[in-house]
């Protein structure tokens, strides 16, 4: 019995990354088409056209860019860790800024239209996601960029940081799906069950977001796609830590 068969390292990785990018970009485009073609387009005037900025920003920032910010640790797993860390933080920051623009859009629209804020499950989940996302970004900066935390505290926090990142991506996607359902029922309830083109397009957007989430989670959790441990980097990290604590690098 020839058991077990040898497997190539990182099998299917480039195809899965390509698929995730295609699906993620398709979700952004479909959101733009839905808001642009069916809901009157975009503006920044307090009207429903300002509301339309909200879904586009959230799908682009909190889903697509958040996903890609996580993915850089897999795609550039053989590059210098410091550079990848900076790229990770920068894309997350961009995602956060775009998400905040998206939030401002919906709150301004609510204010002009005199619609109460924060009553729906979508808004509760969405606000929790954005707040936790901001906290996670600051924690990441404190723990992994600025020399604030001790080495063992960083090691303790790293898996929690990774887990929370994945959960936030899942929450962002779940919240987007809730937003799609809310928008459809508030606008086309009398015709949604007739499989109208807008309803089907929005459902397809939901499925695209779901597929993006599944692909990303698979790429993040698969052991063989992880960044290989680099003893040189580890020793450099300890060296840096020792220096910042004012001790000789040769101290064990």
CB 168 within 8 A of CB 133: yes
Can you tell me the distance from the alpha carbon of 171 to that of 168, in angstroms, rounded to the nearest whole number?
A: 5
| Cβ atoms of residues 64 and 216 within 8 Å | no
How many other CB atoms sit within 10 Å of the CB of residue 182?
A: 14
Minimum distance from residue 51 beta carbon to a second copy (Å): 15
Contact stretch for a second copy (CB under 8 A) within 16-24, 89-97, 225-233, 240-248: 240-248
Q: Which residues of 124-136 are buried (b: 16+ CB within 10 A; e: fewer)?
A: ebbeebbeebeeb
60 binds a second copy (CB under 8 A): no
Minimum Å gap between C-beta 183 and a second copy is: 10
Q: Which stretch binds a second copy (CB under 8 A): 50-58, 81-89, 136-144, 183-191?
A: 183-191
**Binding residues among 123-162 for a second copy as defined by CB under 8 A:** 124-125, 150-152, 155-156, 159
CB of 180 to a second copy, least distance (A): 6
How many helices and strands, by DSSP H and E, does the chain display?
Answer: 9, 0
Using left for φ > 0, alpha for ψ between -120 and 50, and beta otherwise, residue 12 falls in left
* Residues in contact with a second copy by the rule CB under 8 A: 1, 3-5, 7, 115-116, 119-122, 124-125, 150-152, 155-156, 159, 163, 166-167, 170-171, 173-174, 177-178, 180-182, 184-186, 189, 192-195, 199, 202-203, 206-207, 210, 214, 217-218, 221-223, 242, 245, 247, 251-252
């Amino acid at each position: 019995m020839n058991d077990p068969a040898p497997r190539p390292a990182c099998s299917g990785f480039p195809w899965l990354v390509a698929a995730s990018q295609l699906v993620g970009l398709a979700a952004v485009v479909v959101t733009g088409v839905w808001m642009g073609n069916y809901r009157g387009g975009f503006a920044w005037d307090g009207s429903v056209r300002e509301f339309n900025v909200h879904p586009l920003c959230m799908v682009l920032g909190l889903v697509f860019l958040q996903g890609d910010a996580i993915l850089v640790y897999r795609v550039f797993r053989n590059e210098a860790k410091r550079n990848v860390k900076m790229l990770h933080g920068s894309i997350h920051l961009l995602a956060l800024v775009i998400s905040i623009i998206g939030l401002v859009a919906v709150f301004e629209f609510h204010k002009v239209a005199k619609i109460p804020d924060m009553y729906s499950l979508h808004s509760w989940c969405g606000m929790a996601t954005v707040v936790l996302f901001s906290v996670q970004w600051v924690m990441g900066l404190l723990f992994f960029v600025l020399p604030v935390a001790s080495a063992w505290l960083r090691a303790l926090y790293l898996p929690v940081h990774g887990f929370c990142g994945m959960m936030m991506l899942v929450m962002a996607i779940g919240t987007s799906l809730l937003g799609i359902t809310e928008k459809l029922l508030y606008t086309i309830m009398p015709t949604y069950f007739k499989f109208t083109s807008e309803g089907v397009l929005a459902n397809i957007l939901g499925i695209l977001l779901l597929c993006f989430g599944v692909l990303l989670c698979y790429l993040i959790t698969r052991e063989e796609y992880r960044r290989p441990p680099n003893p040189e980097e580890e020793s450099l990290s300890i060296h840096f830590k020792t220096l910042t604590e004012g001790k000789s690098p040769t101290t064990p």
